[in-house]
Amino acid sequence: MPTHVDPRLSDNADDPLAHGPLVPVAAAVRARLGQSIAPSTVTRWCLRGVTVAGSRIRLRAVRTGSGWRTTAPALEHFLREQTNAAMAAIDTPDPPPAGRDEETAQRLREVGLL
């Protein structure tokens, strides 16, 4: 019988879940951000993650009998990855609209719109 190993459980020393005590996700968020989050948000962050600029980012957490738990470093990693993805999207120039020919682009450059 195949054994399923949850990727959230790791022996990797670089894993943010390996550092610090496991605390309820809602408590970690409240301590770090000073606001409460809904239980459905906790579940979504842990299972599906959030999408930022086309990147899927999940909160590293483990499920215990009483709910989802994470560490402060794992929450920091989750927040940092969201920020990095958002900043990368801002720094990436938008592609030109489809259908613009070179002549139109040149006229727009001449009037300072490109």
Pair 61, 70: CB distance under 8 Å: yes
Q: State the pTM of this model.
A: 0.66
Note the pLDDT tens digit of each residue in 15-58: 777 778 999 999 999 999 999 999 999 999 999 999 998 889 99
Secondary structure of 61-106 in HEC code, one letter for each residue: CEEECCEEEECHHHHHHHHHHHHHHHHHHHHCCCCCCCCCCHHHHH
What is the C-alpha to C-alpha distance for residues 34 and 54, in angstroms, rounded to an integer?
28
- In this predicted structure, the answer to whether residue 81 has a pLDDT above a threshold of 90 is yes
Of 17, 113, 5, the C-alpha closest to 71 is 17
